[in-house]
Amino acid sequence: MIENDNFSTTPTTINRKEKKNLLLDKKEEILEEEIQEEQQLQDVEVQLYSVSEIAKHDSVGDAWVSMDGNVYNVTDFMGDHPGGSEIVEPYLGKDISPVFLDERVHEHGDVAYNMLQRYFIGQVQGYRKTSPSVQEMIRSKQKLESICSDKNSTTPLVSMEELQSRIDVTKPMVPQLEKLDGENYMRWIHSQTGLKQIIIFNNSFLELFTRWPWWYIFVLWVPIITIKLYSSTQQSNSSYAFSFFIFSFGLFSWSFFEYLLHRFVFHIKTTSYWGNFFHFFIHGIHHLTPYDSTRLTFPPIFSAVIAVALWKGVNAFPTTLVENGFNQALYAGIACGYMLYDTIHYYFHHGEITWLPSKLKEFKTHHLNHHYKDDNKNFGITSTIFDIIFGTY
């Protein structure tokens, strides 16, 4: 009996010892990690700013804010704030946490927080944490959203921290796309909105063809539009009045095509590698780097695809419509709408023109909200009417 009793208690004793050893090992690992983090922090010299120093930078031309003990110079971002600079102005030189968390003023999420980190310049001298940080609140909300998304996902969704660690934004992007499997690609793209610049290819020659000045669209499209409109007026059953009427119809109908393209093609939900690859080139690059002026207008190769597809479409009209110049005038009008769209879109991201109509400024806010607030809404650029009609406003 004694032997049996000893035998029966031995496993329990061993289990307790094992658990104790595991706990000790875990504590040692945690301590080692904390020591490493402290050493890393010591290795990096962080500039400290007093509250009074931060308060001096309280104008649109010299704009600093603080949050969670960190200091940010947001001068370059003031003109691009989706809700308008007037929302931020009362908090310049101060702690911006109240407006960052108050959805009644302007909703912010992890995209906005990630963008803010790019303007980091130092820390608040003597800062002491007294409540949950803005980052902690956002992460908590993000985890809840991830749990809900994971239920309907066909791909295991990883944490945003892990996603960000997978990709080095200072290196060429194309070779790294395979690291973003399935739906994690879309999550990463939209969480990183606002990067200043990225490298697409590891081949410098190919990289040249990804950058184009904004004015090239006029060099490409004005001759095409002029030739097609003039050709329309020269058809046997045509007239100047008829051609210009159809041209105007095509011009204003562009907003509908723009909405359809943006919502159902540019924002196609992809999960495969080649699907993600396709999306990256047609729209992912723009969502990553909306501030890169050389990658804002559609590259010529994609413009050419649109031009040819549109021309094939209008040439399929009945002969009677071809003879009166309907197809060419319509083509010229839609092409002109596209050219103006590309120009207006460029202004939304890189222009601050005070004399423009207030309605156009509303459209700008509408579009920037698509980038920084909810990429599943606000697909219209030159008009909001179709967002209102289809419930995406």
CA 144 and chain centroid, separation: 21
- Bridge partners of 49? 124
Query: 12 vs 1, 9, 17, 22, 23, CA distance in Å?
Result: 18, 5, 9, 15, 17
Query: 165 vs 158, 159, 188, 342, CA distance in Å?
Result: 11, 10, 11, 34
Annotated ligand binding at 106? The verdict is no
Annotated ligand binding at 350? The verdict is no
Annotated ligand binding at 349? The verdict is yes
Phi-psi region at 174: left, alpha or beta (left = phi > 0; alpha = psi -120 to 50) = alpha
218 Cβ partners below 8 Å, 6+ apart? Answer: 339
The C-alpha torsion from 280 through 114 and 159 to 178, rounded to 10°, is 20
164 Cβ partners below 8 Å, 6+ apart? Answer: 188, 191, 192
Annotated ligand binding at 286? The verdict is yes
Annotated ligand binding at 367? The verdict is yes
As given in the structure block, the two tokens for residue 78 are 């003031």
Q: How many Cβ atoms are within 10 Å of 239's Cβ, its own excluded? A: 13
Tell me how far apart the alpha carbons of residues 144 and 139 are, in angstroms, rounded to a whole number.
9
Dihedral angle sign, alpha carbons of residues 80, 114, 174, 159: negative
Tell me how far apart the alpha carbons of residues 316 and 326 are, in angstroms, rounded to a whole number.
12
Tell me how far apart the alpha carbons of residues 276 and 106 are, in angstroms, rounded to a whole number.
31
Annotated ligand binding at 262? The verdict is yes
Q: What does the chain come to in residues?
A: 393
- For helices 358-372 and 110-117, the axis angle rounded to 10 degrees is 90
Instruction: Enter the DSSP assignment of 378.
Output: -
Query: 117 vs 71, 73, 173, 265, CA distance in Å?
Result: 9, 10, 21, 31
Q: Annotated binding site: which residue ranges?
A: 81, 108, 262, 267, 283, 286-287, 345, 349, 367, 370-371
Q: Annotated binding site for heme: which residue ranges?
A: 81, 108
Q: Annotated binding site for Zn(2+): which residue ranges?
A: 262, 267, 283, 286-287, 345, 349, 367, 370-371
